[in-house]
């Protein structure tokens, strides 16, 4: 019964009239209604009501013209101390407001979206109070963008309704350069020196000094060498640590794929988690000088082509990830990106997807077309919090070590194995 009464009280019986009555939600609408009422009272009740009409008209004129005149002499410019940052990275924001009038301007405010608000600020509106006449005022605060993207996402405007608040005048704020917020990159430590086998993991072997292949000789110990490489007989003979030297790989190539079909149906927090994982793995392999190929548009499965990525192109790639949308991926490929697309045959392929099943979410699919294919799944609604970095680092470390164990144990190349999950269960949205 109460629900029916509540529904009747809140039901819109005349939606066609909304366009005519919505102006009453603004203060200027009530001022106009009071103005008409005072005129009717002056005509039909008492001529003294025309005094109220004059007063209301004066308030309406001053309250409408003064904000407009004030904003004619105000200019604003919004900038940052850097043009790029990562999610959850603090960045300094500067707002410069110039007042060209000889009198001060009061009541200025600024509406900002969540990623541009001062750190710890829970309101979307920032009040600037007073701007002195013929002066330039600078406002400075720190902000922490929570999600990737290009900021500002909508036009930023200075506004003022001083002195009566019945009409708001706005002036757009100039933004010389937008802020690009990259997906958060987790700094991983280990690198998989062997993903399943010497052939698939590292490619061909050369006689250059490295950490792969057969032993080629001995040398004195250097800080950072693994204790597994210590030649204990030579160490005892020389009374100083001596280690083995090994061959290096001639070519190491990896293809990083984003499951486009799943990205299209993923929720926004899940898609953000997939892109963070992709960015972290891309950065890790580039730092270890692998030949990295990236496929965001599903081209490799059908045509065998992918985008070649080198360390010098990392900034351009991260800029692309910051605004990437799975619903229109090809529209966001610039000319330079299309030129780097080529036919590839990687040693290893890593596919990133999401999985809503319980339990262990990352697994190895096995051998396909002379390459090792690994799948890393993130849990839907994976939160971006302090635990993200620690859990991803632990999962990646366990995965790298599991591949070393697989190779040393001599297990079958096409055997399907389970590895550590990429992320822990979510406790909230990103």
Q: Is residue 190 part of a domain?
A: no
Position 417 pLDDT exceeds 60: no
Does residue 241 lie within any of the structural domains? yes
Same domain? For 299 and 389 the reply is yes
Pairing of the two strands 91-99 and 74-80: antiparallel
In a domain, 12, yes or no: no
Taking only the tens place, the pLDDT of each residue in 294-316 is 988 877 777 777 888 887 788 99
Say whether pLDDT at 201 is over 60.
no
- My answer on whether 137 and 163 are in the same domain is yes
Is the same domain home to 381 and 313? yes
Q: Are 167 and 28 in contact (CB under 8 A)?
A: yes
152-176 tens-digit pLDDT: 989 999 999 988 888 889 999 999 9
Burial (Cβ within 10 Å: 0-12, 13-18, ≥19) of residue 47: exposed
In 3D space, the residue among 134, 126, 121, 123 whose CA is nearest the CA of residue 173 turns out to be: 126
- In this structure, the chain runs to a length of 430
For residue 157, what are the β-bridge partners?
Answer: 172
Residue 5 domain flag: no
Determine the 3-state secondary structure of 351 from DSSP. strand
Secondary structure class of 204 (helix, strand, coil): coil
Same domain? For 261 and 277 the reply is yes
Higher per-residue confidence, 376 vs 153:
153
Same domain, 307 and 372: yes
Burial 116-134 (b: 16+ CB within 10 A, else e): bbbeeeeeeebebeebeee
* In a domain? residue 187: no
Residue 157 C-alpha from the chain's centroid: 24
Structure tokens at 332: 């966001």
DSSP string for 114-161: GGGSPTT---SEEEEEEE-TTEEEEEEEEE---S-EEE-SS--EEEE-
How many domains are contained in the chain? 4
Residue 188 in any domain: the answer is: no
- Top mean pLDDT of 145-159, 235-249, 304-318 is at 145-159
Band of pLDDT at residue 425, cut at 50, 70 and 90: very low
Q: Does residue 421 lie in a domain region?
A: no
Highest mean pLDDT among 119-123, 138-142, 398-402: 138-142
Residues 265 and 402 in one domain: yes
What are the distances in angstroms from CA 321 to CA 158, 206, 279, 314?
Answer: 31, 35, 8, 10
Residue 173 lies in a domain: yes
Same domain, 226 and 126: no
pLDDT of residue 385: 63
How many C-alpha atoms does 2 have within 13 Å on its Cβ side?
0
- Residue 412's alpha-carbon distances to 311, 366, 408, 415, 417, in angstroms, are 34, 10, 11, 5, 10
pLDDT-based confidence at 288, cuts 50/70/90? confident
Cβ–Cβ under 8 Å, residues 341 and 401: no
Contact 139, 98 (CB under 8 A): no
For residue 126, the number of C-alpha atoms closer than 13 Å in the C-beta half-sphere is 19
Looking at the structure, tell me whether residues 211 and 176 fall in a common domain.
no
Instruction: State the pLDDT at residue 5.
Output: 72
Whether the per-residue pLDDT at 365 is higher than 50: the answer is no
Find all residues with CB under 8 Å of 279, minimum gap 6, and list them.
Answer: 182, 183, 184, 185, 318, 321
Give the angle 244-247-250 at the CA atoms, nearest 5°: 160
End-to-end CA distance of the chain: 40
Task: Report the distance separating Cα 71 and Cα 106, nearest Å.
Answer: 10
pLDDT at position 39, please? 92
**Domain interval for residue 356:** 253-409
**Hunting for tokens 């993923």 — which residue is that?**
266
Q: Are residues 267 and 349 in the same domain?
A: yes
284 and 233 housed in the same domain: no
| Nearest CA-CA partner of 165 in 117, 109, 241, 99 | 109
pTM more than 0.85 = no
CA dist 288 and 212 (Å) reads: 13
Residues 310 and 293 in one domain: yes
Tokens of 238: 């020389």
One domain, residues 257 and 405? yes
Burial of 305 (0-12, 13-18, 19+ CB in 10 A): middle
């Amino acid at each position: 019964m109460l629900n029916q009464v509540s529904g009747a009280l809140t039901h819109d019986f005349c939606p066609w009239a909304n366009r005519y009555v919505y102006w009453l939600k603004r203060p200027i609408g009530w001022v106009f209604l009071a103005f008409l009422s005072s005129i009717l009272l002056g005509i039909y009740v008492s001529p003294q009501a025309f005094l109220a009409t004059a007063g209301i008209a004066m308030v309406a004129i001053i309250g409408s013209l003064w904000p407009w005149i004030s904003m004619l002499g105000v200019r604003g410019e919004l900038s940052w101390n850097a043009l790029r940052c990562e999610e959850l990275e603090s960045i300094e924001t500067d707002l410069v407001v110039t007042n060209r009038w000889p009198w001060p301007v009061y009541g200025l405010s600024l509406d900002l979206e969540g990623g541009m608000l001062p750190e710890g600020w829970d309101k979307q509106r920032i009040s600037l109070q007073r701007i002195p006449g013929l002066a330039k005022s600078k406002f400075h605060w720190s902000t922490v963008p929570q999600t990737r993207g290009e900021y500002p996402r909508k036009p930023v405007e200075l506004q003022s309704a001083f002195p009566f608040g019945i009409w708001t005048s706005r002036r757009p704020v100039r933004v010389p350069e937008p802020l690009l917020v990259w997906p958060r990159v987790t700094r991983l430590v280990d690198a998989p020196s062997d993903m399943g086998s010497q052939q698939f993991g590292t490619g061909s072997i050369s006689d250059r000094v490295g950490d792969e292949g057969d032993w080629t000789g001995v040398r004195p110990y250097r800080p950072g060498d693994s204790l597994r490489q210590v030649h204990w007989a030579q160490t005892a003979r020389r009374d100083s640590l001596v280690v083995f030297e090994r061959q290096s790989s001639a070519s190491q190539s990896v293809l990083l794929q984003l499951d486009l079909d799943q990205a299209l149906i993923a929720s926004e927090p899940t898609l953000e988690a997939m892109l963070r994982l992709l960015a972290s793995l891309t950065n890790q392999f580039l730092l270890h000088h692998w030949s990295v190929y990236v496929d965001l548009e599903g081209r490799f499965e059908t045509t065998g082509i992918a985008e070649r990525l080198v360390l010098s192109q990392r900034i351009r790639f991260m800029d692309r990830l910051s605004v990437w949308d799975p619903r229109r991926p090809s529209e966001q490929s610039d000319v330079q990106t299309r030129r780097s697309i080529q036919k590839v045959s990687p040693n290893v392929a890593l596919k990133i997807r999401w999985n809503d099943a319980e339990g262990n979410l990352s697994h190895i699919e096995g051998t396909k077309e002379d390459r090792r294919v690994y799948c890393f799944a993130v849990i839907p609604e994976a939160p971006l919090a302090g635990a993200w970095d620690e859990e991803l680092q632990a999962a990646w470390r366990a995965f790298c070590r599991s591949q070393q164990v697989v190779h040393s144990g001599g297990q079958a190349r096409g055997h399907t194995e389970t590895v550590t999950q990429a992320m822990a269960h979510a406790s909230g949205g990103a």
